[in-house]
Amino acid sequence: MPVLEFGAATLAAEPRLPAAGQLDVWLIRRAQLETAAELLDLTELSEAERRRTASFVRPTDGVTYASAHVALRRLLGAYLGLAAQDVPFVREPCPGCAEPHGRPAVAHPDPPLHFSLAHSHGMAVVAVSRAVVGADVERLPRAETVEVCTPALHPGEQAELAALDDAGARRAAFGRLWTRKEAYLKALGTGLSRDPGHDYLGADPRRRPAGWTLLDLPSGPRHNAAVAVHGGAPEQVTVRWVPPLALYAGQAVDLDADGTVGVPVHRGAEGTTTGVSDWGA
């Protein structure tokens, strides 16, 4: 059974759970460093989250973490009809040892609400669905990262990268497959404790793990992002920005706000798309 970590739920509004077959993806930019201390509202975070925010050596990393977790709490609170500080987080059992340190979740009756949070270098992604979901975002990889990490990949992934003569194309392909891999491993609840070479998450969707849908997200010029969803392709996918003001004191997230930035990309052969991807500020 999941173990409750913190939060005594207080009803704030009517729940707004996603419909079956609906996937909502929210993109978050970190608050501006110059104004974060004054405007970013940390009162809704747990004591552990506030300690974590203060523990980062680089202030920008702390602000990115805080921005992501404020956004997560306000988003989940809006879906559940709860105050942000009352969202009841739990840890699911670990797939490896069954101890309660697996995938983060929220305690909620049927129908379930699943989420996944990722953040990296000034950007965060929150995915919300009734289906099990994993999300990842990463800064574009450096050439050294590709060189060091490629030997740990699935043999099929290594072969695809080796077939790319252009170094820039190789870095781009590695960035896409690595975010798919991390999103999938987060959805499983194992993270990188599972051998990253065990599962194929490369360019050919037919070779990817059965029973899962992998989507490349519109993520701008400096990041790659992806979502893994358990089951078939979602019937409705929305990718939107969380407005920066929604993170500040006295503000809230509007689940009906506009700000759609595009749709996920379904890739066939690497570089060939069957979906549309745009980017909006």
> In this predicted model, what pLDDT tens digit does every residue of 146-166 receive, in sequence order?
999 999 999 999 999 999 999
Assess contact for 87 and 47: CB atoms under 8 A.
no
The pLDDT of residue 92: 85
**Residue 263 pLDDT more than 50?**
yes
Other Cβ atoms within 10 Å of 253 Cβ, number: 22
The pLDDT of residue 12: 56
Q: Which of 101-110, 147-156, 214-223 shows the lowest mean pLDDT across its residues?
A: 101-110
pLDDT in tens, 160-194: 999 999 999 999 999 999 999 999 999 999 999 89
Assess contact for 183 and 135: CB atoms under 8 A.
yes
Q: What average pLDDT score do residues 258-274 get?
A: 51
Cβ neighbours for 256, distance < 8 A, ≥ 6 positions apart: none
The CA–CA distances, whole Å, from 260 to 59, 150, 181, 256, 257 equal: 29, 34, 25, 11, 9
Q: Which of 63-77, 215-229, 260-274 shows the lowest mean pLDDT across its residues?
A: 260-274
The pLDDT of residue 91: 85
- What global pTM score does this model have? 0.86
Q: Which of 110-114, 115-119, 144-148 shows the lowest mean pLDDT across its residues?
A: 110-114
Q: How confident is the model at residue 229 (pLDDT cuts 50, 70, 90)?
A: very high
Q: What average pLDDT score do residues 218-232 get?
A: 92
The pLDDT of residue 109: 67
